[in-house]
Structure 1
């Protein structure tokens, strides 16, 4: 996976404790970050979180993390990433917490949405947090509970190998351990034993502190598309053509990038079809998508490489398209472009047919950035 960006490599998170005293300045953290205050008063299930609300839990998690010798032995930047993840790991709980019919309190779905919120929060830092660091923090938040729930996964091996492609699994174990030590529950030791088992399992699968390696890009692609594949199996590459799947908010520069880098390839553009068919971006897009897929199938049948140019900001939408392309034995390359949201809105306002600002902001809130588990190749081109 290729990631291009323009920014310094050095980064530390505000108020991240430092040696020799490792002091946690919680008062400054509360005064500095609005999203921390939103955690106060958010209830938690007393069976799993007898310590109190989410704010109390978050402070306890941070205290547990910075007390960890394994965390203290990391580099400055790695400590900052994990500290940021600890502060933000439950940031979406206030919006996702509800009381069930049986009286229990749950917050299903808060991890995935939490990762999206983390992306927005870190993007608003001045200067913005470097892309690779920001996405690492997002991934730690999204997959932070994997060490605890590993044995409940349908395919534990694929789960850890998949996670390792986007984040270090030892980071997940560190956050999960802090999460457990930062709460009051009767099954603490049982959960800590699960986390240790997670570490051992990742070590056995060669993915504890680095991505699991595959014999080839095609082997990796096929592995993540099967339920019970073998990560060591080298798959025969039977691809017939290449589909370049563009991804990015309107105004991120997809048209320009295609013109500069792939001028000879035919392009299926949903924007162009939208104008051709006179359908507003705010109306039902099914007719446009059907027309685009018809053209794609024509190229795929003739083994002609082409570009699919649309926003493709959700993983679900990309997966549907990738399933279609893979069925015709196409090699899939995703090209994701990112510029700051303010620049996206400025560019969009100067277009002949601008997308409504509300639509762009909604896409940004639900953005799933492509990762290497989705395709043969993923290029992430970021300009801060």
Structure 2
């Protein structure tokens, strides 16, 4: 198993005579999943260069040829280089050939972020840098369509502001430029123009290298959830509960963290609800959820502070909890905890649980680390 220091060694460093060549053989040895890219086809219209591995190498080279790359700090070079190397890592498992013979890879960006997260987590990458890489992968093509061709129907301003809270836009624009230059396709200049326009808008909004400023956390959260308001004018905040929403895999240390930091608060927990009902893990989850939600509603109605302790692994799972809390005017802080794979499995073996290690590992495919746009605040912690 490759560790984080070995992965860092893949990133070319500045040399007196320019940038050294990338050791692509070492890249393949470090990330064997990329071997499948050699036999993964692409649509010949948008990728006339051929397979995914050919494209990936061209993208990495285009990134290194960008003069802005040499000006980055070492950690930034690592982040954008690894994002470029892994940006299409999920194409091998998302390839679809239509009846007309056209090739597509729907959802490869989001699934690629999941794949990269697992690879880098197992290697021991620092959580904040790992998530910076994964977030870039998840949105690496958004700059292509932010102007005039937005697939989401959202305005360029909204797309820009939301992106600025998720990624470093300077790095994202570099990655997007490398992605379009590292292929043979029509209208390269049009896509480069869209990327340049997004960058210019980021400069105007003063968010190229930091999140777009909002008048308050409440204003930002409601804006990102679709409220029609201006970022510079604070939204009125109704009184409500102060809620800590825990996220993380089982055995990641959530119970310990809550006991150490918020022992004075009531806790809403599906596990506690199961125990109160005498249920095993996975048995009648609906009844346990109903009991936990009823307790949460009572606390929310009384504006009491509390902790909601659950795995909340995917954005969809968190969404139900966040929707409920925000409907009652709560102020929500997401706290995501994680541990290394070996520590996680050791803890799970040692604790009193009906959840096997095999079942725990099966949950990794749904592991989506929270984004800053999901709540009033976010902490990513290693326990």
Give me the TM-score of the superposition, normalised by structure 1. Answer: 0.92
Does the CA contact (< 8 Å) of 1:122 and 1:134 recur in 2? yes
Q: 2:84 aligns with which of 83, 86, 110?
A: 86
Q: Per the alignment, in what secondary structure is the counterpart of residue 337 of structure 1? A: strand
Residue 33 of structure 2 corresponds to 35
Task: Report the Cα offset of residue 165 of structure 1.
Answer: 1.2
Q: Secondary structure at the match of 1:43?
A: coil
Which residue in 2 is equivalent to 1:320?
Answer: 320
The higher-RCO structure (CA 8 Å, 6+ apart) is 1
| 132, 142, 147: which one aligns with 1:136 | 132
Aligned to 1:175: 175
Aligned position for 1:5:
none
- The structure carrying a bigger helix percent of its residues is 2
Segments of 5+ residues of structure 2 without an aligned counterpart are none
Give the Cα separation in 1 of the matches to 2:49 and 2:354: 50
1:11, CA displacement in angstroms?
9.9
Q: How big is the shift at 1:36?
A: 2.2
Q: How many residues are treated as equivalent by the alignment?
A: 373
SS at 2:331 equivalent: strand
Quote the residue 1:109 is aligned against.
107
Instruction: Find the aligned partners of 2:62 and 2:95 in 1 and give their Cα distance.
Output: 24
Q: Deviations over 1:255-280 (max 9, x none)?
A: 11111111111111111111222333
Q: Distance in 2 between matches of 1:359 and 1:205?
A: 46
- Tell me what 2:153 maps to: 154
More displaced 10-residue stretch of structure 1: 303-312 or 351-360: 351-360
Residue 332 of structure 1 deviates from its aligned partner by: 0.8
Contact 2:117 2:134 in 1 (8 A): yes
Q: Per-residue displacement from partner, 1:60-83 (whole Å, max 9, x unpaired)?
A: 101111011011221222112111
Cα RMSD (Å) of the superposition? 1.8
Work out whether residues 338 and 382 of structure 1, in 8 Å CA contact, stay in contact via their aligned partners in 2. yes
Q: Determine if contact 1:145/1:172 at 8 Å carries over to the other structure.
A: no
Q: Which residue does the alignment assign to 1:303?
A: 303
Q: Secondary structure at the match of 2:268?
A: strand
Give the alignment's TM-score, normalised by structure 2.
0.93
Change (3 A) 1:229 1:26: same
C-alpha displacement of 1:328 = 0.9
- Measured in 1, the distance between the counterparts of 2:30 and 2:235 equals 52
Within 2, Cα distance between the matches of 1:321 and 1:237?
19
The 3-state SS of whatever aligns with 2:281 is coil
Residue by residue over 1:17-39, the C-alpha shift from the partner in whole angstroms, topping out at 9 and shown as x without a partner, is: 22233122223333443122121
- 1:1-384 aligned within 5 A: 13-20=8-15, 21-22=18-19, 23-125=21-123, 128-151=124-147, 152=150, 153-155=152-154, 156-383=156-383
